[in-house]
A and B are shown apart, each in its own frame.
Chain A
């Protein structure tokens, strides 16, 4: 084989430039910390990475949705917790009223009952970010009006919390604040009316009814709160599951697209050695010519 000066030179510049371009590629991997810097670097890896990113994005959206549901359920729970103490107090008052106190005492009790009635009404009309939380879909309508009648509907607001899995974020006011079709406020109002009656028998009978009503109401609230607790528990379970999947997917994503630093650094040193020896041998070969030896 005849080797010409031109061929040697070409071969050398070519090898140098191919080594330099792998060097550039490797340092780019280090700089961006990614081994896939454009789709053609690794098409199937890129597709996996895009898949993982879609799933991660969905999981993060579900996590935001769960936070949303949680804040609704927690507000409902907080409101119902206050309702429980109010009902407890009302029940105590009803017991006192049943023990035939005098007219003056009944007036005082009636006063307290009215306060509790109004307090519970206020709680039933709780709002979160300006939305009534116990009104079903009718989030801009107060759940109960001044005559203690439910104004909302029984629609459930469903939020996606995982693929194909949605959770109801609202508590229907007519379920949470009524027993046997009568709202707690209405029962308390009945007690109030009875206590303000001049006839002690009417007052006592009203108080007796109220004791039963309050017991039923307390059971009802306890049931509702148990339901909320169950929902919050399953939210937690879904949340852990999502977080777990998120971590796994992020590990996969990192495996696919992140640079293996140790490997890349060692590749860089290898390329550096190759470049160095190319330069040295190039300098040797290019500087030598028969002409040097002719005098």
Chain B
């Protein structure tokens, strides 16, 4: 080996340390960049040469730049982000609902409900006094307003959730399109080379995949070209051809669904914010909203049944106190329609919701919408004839086909239609007496009012024998339990995510101390390399000057 070889060794040291310094500097510059994976310059000794039976090193050879990255942790983070996104969405929806029913701050129906029955007590104590009657009408009106306010707030929350779903889908679309373009960059850069060459793009794409997991659950795999393929419910969102955007549509009930290639895939989402939002939306509809409507329907129906039996001071009878319940119907049918629906017998109503399902064009079953229990099976359909069950009359007309379904509910529109049927100028019509006052003159008769008061303390069969207060407490307790569970799992998922992030940082994060040490280390290497060249130069000069 010649003296000149020393120059090469020195030069290789300088080049290698320069590259290493670049890597270190880049690490330092990205110390706060989320998703950045630390890189490290790996030095390798150059192929030695054999000289007089000895192998002699020829300096530092190729410099490999390695990305510190653990795929297993990345997969865990994606999974954890999906859980976190779901908890986030649940917590967001339920914390709204919890505020609506926040009895701790006297929000909710509690006070209005108590005031309404207190007003009946006051009327019973003063059966023919006008001020108490007027107060009763006011308290009843305020019960109506409070119920409508609460329903409005719940509907607003549902609307917000539907908006959130749309926003999440927008975010998903922009993420998938980002991922698709990163896919292309990675595939191009890595073409023909070993993977990991496009590590900066891979870091970016990992970040996007993390973000995407927070929004929805998806399956994914990386193909041989380094492209990530993303699938949801069997529909491909990102593949070699690029990305495919999800769309949303609003159904007849105002609920927003997610569609891929025209197919409703809303039920495919279990986790991520989308899964959470879909779940919390049906939780609110099936629990808080449904139960509130059932409670109000029960209060108004039970009051009316007793009220109709009593007599007002003017001798009038058969009057409703609240507006009578109406039957809401909606149909999922092309040829058939509900031409009329009404309450035939208020006392036979069970305040359940029903589906009339057609098994073929002339046969239908009636099932309880909530429990799925059969009410009547194998009934023969004849167009325009009345179908009567449990106090409800429904007339279906037209030509229904197999699998057509009609939803019948005494609850859906109850709060919307609720109102006090007796106007402020008709206080005499409040039926406090159980005999015809215009005949008997019993203006002090309070027997009917006492019956209404006793409603407040007795179990109501439509409410599974709970009292109004107990049923309402059940609503609040459900809200509290669901809210608590959501907050707890949000905290849990957030902590777990943080722990995983810490694990990832252990491997991929930048430590400034470490980099500072490396900076010094490669600076010294550079200096020493330069010194080799200088020494070699001096040696050369010495030889030349011989």
Contacts and interface: CB of A to CB of B under 8 A. Distances in A.
A158 B433 CA distance: 12
Contacts of B334: none
Contacts of B512: 5, 289-291
Contacts of A51: 473
Contact of B442 (A7, A37, A153): A153
A158 B446 contact: yes
Category for how many chain B residues contact A: 35 or more
B104 A38 contact: yes
A46 interface: yes
Contacts of B493: none
Interface of B: 31-32, 98-99, 101-105, 110, 114, 118, 121-122, 124-129, 433, 435, 440-446, 450, 453, 457, 469, 473, 476-477, 479-481, 483-484, 487, 498, 501-502, 505-507, 509-513, 516-517, 520
B484 A160 contact: no
Closest 8 CB pairs of A and B: A39-B480, A4-B509, A137-B442, A139-B444, A40-B483, A40-B484, A43-B480, A290-B516
A39 B103 contact: yes
A6 B473 contact: no
A65 interface: yes
Given A38-B104, A163-B457, A65 B121 contact: yes
Interface string A57-72: 1000100110011000
B511 A4 contact: yes
A258 to B, nearest CB: 11
Given A37-B105, A47-B473, A57 B118 contact: yes
A270 interface: no
16 contacts: A4-B511, A6-B32, A7-B502, A7-B505, A7-B509, A32-B105, A40-B481, A43-B477, A49-B104, A50-B103, A50-B476, A131-B126, A137-B440, A137-B443, A138-B444, A153-B442
A43 B485 CA distance: 11
Nearest to A139: B444
A50 B510 contact: no
A39 B506 contact: no
A108 interface: no
A7 B506 contact: yes
A275 interface: no
A155 B121 contact: no
B190 to A, nearest CB: 27
A141 B441 contact: yes
Contacts of B450: 158, 160, 166
A64 B122 contact: yes
Contacts of A138: 440-444
B469 A289 contact: no
Contact of A10 (B99, B122, B442, B501): B501
A140 interface: yes
Interface string A114-147: 0000000000000001110001111111000000
A84 interface: no
Contact of B114 (A37, A54, A157): A54
B444 A170 contact: yes
A74 B124 CA distance: 19
A53 to B, nearest CB: 7
A39 B444 contact: no
A280 B118 CA distance: 58
A38 B127 contact: no
Contact of B104 (A158, A257, A291): A257
Contact of A139 (B127, B505, B513, B520): B127
A294 B516 contact: yes
Contacts of A1: 506
A159 B124 contact: yes
A139 B443 CA distance: 6
Contacts of B124: 159-160
Nearest to B520: A294
Interface string A138-180: 1111000000000001010111100100100110000000000
B481 A43 contact: yes
B483 A39 contact: yes
B453 A157 contact: no
A202 interface: no
Contacts of B502: 7, 10-11
B469 to A, nearest CB: 5
A245 interface: no
A3 interface: yes
A51 B506 CA distance: 52
Given A2-B511, A38-B104, A140 B118 contact: no
B40 to A, nearest CB: 12
Nearest to B444: A139
Given A38-B98, A39-B101, A155-B442, A46 B516 contact: no
A41 B104 contact: yes
A36 interface: yes
Interface in A1-52: 1-7, 10-11, 14, 32, 34, 36-41, 43, 46-47, 49-51
A8 to B, nearest CB: 9
Contacts of B98: 38-40
